[in-house]
């Protein structure tokens, strides 16, 4: 049984693909996990390969109850809101914020692939067969901590429209004949209702009227080997998330900005170490985020990706 398998990642596209070779799932908004089940016990690994078994005790306990001696489940840990939508901010809070050590008993693993099963490596097996085995192992619905992320046979454009109307993050399209290939190779495609990416926090503007005293976060994206300023975000915080973020940022304060942010009043600059997940609608003509909203901090262990400008 392999110690770890690099995950297959979804390629971002603006529209769903056409044709009978594609099947669809809901796009979940959480942490990508691989759950390794062995006779010696269960290991839960993040996308970056870090062991987070202790942080998801309910998922680990449920994995031990599955009727299999060896398996690797691929899925997304999520926490649902009152409308049944996955909520990245709630997952973050259940884990105690970025760098927190809290365990999340609310998190549910939405399992969408099976890449090892009863002594057999399934990475060379087509998706249809892997899904058939997964559906025999994990049930859909219910209240269990591991649930099946169901495939939806539908027209991609129609499904995307319905997902967006219900406030979901988007959909995933998968080539039903594809094997499990690590990396972002186009076998899986993600189509988002709203754009959401990781940006580096390089500072914040103070405000006595805002949660945590944060008027606006100052954000940067990658351009080549450098970071460039892409504007700020001043919405999406609640009292708790803003207070936790302010406490963590104040440990990274520096005298001069790490990059050119233009002239800023009441700005506090920090070392560019934190990656924030930001939802946004578009870009301005001069390369700044439009209608941005803060969703939470990404973890280093989650292999936090930073948006790269062309």
**Domain CATH for 45:** 3.30.470.30
Residues 206-233 have a mean pLDDT of: 92
CB 77 within 8 A of CB 92: no
Of 118, 148, 178, the last residue of a domain is 148
pLDDT at position 218 is 96
Q: Tell me: do 201 and 288 sit in the same domain.
A: yes
- Looking at residue 97, its pLDDT comes to 63
pLDDT (tens digit, 9 = 90+) per residue, 18-74? 999 999 999 999 999 999 999 999 999 999 899 999 999 999 999 999 999 999 999
Residue 1: inside a domain, yes or no? no
180, 210: one domain: no
Average pLDDT over residues 303-308: 83
Give the residue carrying structure tokens 């708790």. 240
- String of DSSP letters for 52-114: -GGG-HHHHHHHHHSS-SSEEEEEEEE-B-TTS-B-HHHHHHHTTSTT-----SS-EEEEEEE
Question: Which pLDDT does position 233 carry in this prediction?
Answer: 95
Asked if 56 and 103 touch (Cβ cutoff 8 Å), the reply is yes
Full domain range(s) for residue 251:
195-302
Number of domains in the chain: 3
Looking at residue 131, what DSSP letter applies? H
175, 193, 211 — which closes off a domain? 193
Q: Strand, helix or coil at 253?
A: strand
Q: Where are the beta strands (DSSP E) in the chain?
A: 11-12, 22-26, 31-38, 41-46, 71-78, 108-117, 120-121, 146-148, 170-175, 188-192, 195-206, 214-223, 226-233, 253-254, 267-270, 275-280, 282-283, 289-290, 293-298
Assigned domain for 143 exists = yes
CA distance 175 to 180: 10
* 299: pLDDT strictly greater than 80: no
89 and 231 share a domain? no
**Active site positions, annotated:** 27
Q: How confident is the model over 5-26, as pLDDT tens digits?
A: 999 999 999 899 999 999 999 9
Q: 47 and 136 share a domain? A: yes
Residue 119 pLDDT exceeds 90 = yes
Let me know whether 252 and 163 are in one domain. no
Is 186 found in the same domain as 132? Answer: no
**Percent of the chain scored above 70 by pLDDT?**
97
């Amino acid at each position: 049984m392999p110690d770890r398998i690099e995950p297959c990642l979804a390629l971002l596209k603006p529209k769903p693909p056409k044709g009978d070779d594609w099947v669809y799932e809901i796009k979940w908004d959480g942490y990508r996990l691989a759950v390794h089940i062995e006779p010696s016990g269960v290991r839960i690994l993040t996308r970056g390969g870090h062991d987070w078994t202790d942080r998801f005790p309910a998922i680990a306990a449920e994995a031990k109850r599955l009727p299999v001696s060896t398996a690797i489940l691929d899925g997304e840990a999520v926490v649902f809101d009152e409308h049944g939508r996955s909520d990245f901010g709630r997952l973050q809070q259940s884990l105690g914020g970025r760098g927190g050590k809290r365990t999340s008993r609310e998190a549910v693993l939405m399992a969408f692939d099976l890449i090892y099963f009863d002594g057999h490596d399934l990475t060379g097996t087509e998706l249809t067969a892997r899904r058939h085995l997964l559906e025999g192992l994990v049930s859909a619905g219910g209240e269990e901590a591991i649930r099946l992320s169901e495939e939806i046979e539908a027209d991609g454009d129609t499904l995307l429209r319905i997902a967006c109307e219900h406030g979901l993050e988007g959909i995933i399209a998968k080539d039903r004949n594809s094997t499990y290939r690590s990396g972002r190779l186009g076998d899986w495609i993600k189509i988002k209702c709203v754009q959401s990416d990781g940006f580096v926090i390089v500072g914040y503007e103070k405000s006595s009227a805002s949660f945590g005293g944060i008027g606006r976060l100052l954000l940067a994206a990658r351009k080549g080997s450098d970071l460039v300023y892409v504007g700020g975000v001043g919405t999406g915080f609640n009292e708790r998330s803003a207070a936790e973020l302010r406490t963590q940022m104040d440990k990274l304060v520096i005298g001069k900005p790490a990059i050119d942010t233009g002239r800023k009043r009441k700005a506090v600059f920090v070392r560019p170490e934190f990656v924030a997940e930001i939802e946004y609608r578009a870009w301005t003509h001069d390369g700044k985020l439009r209608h941005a909203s803060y969703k939470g901090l990404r973890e280093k262990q989650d292999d936090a990706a930073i948006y790269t400008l062309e």
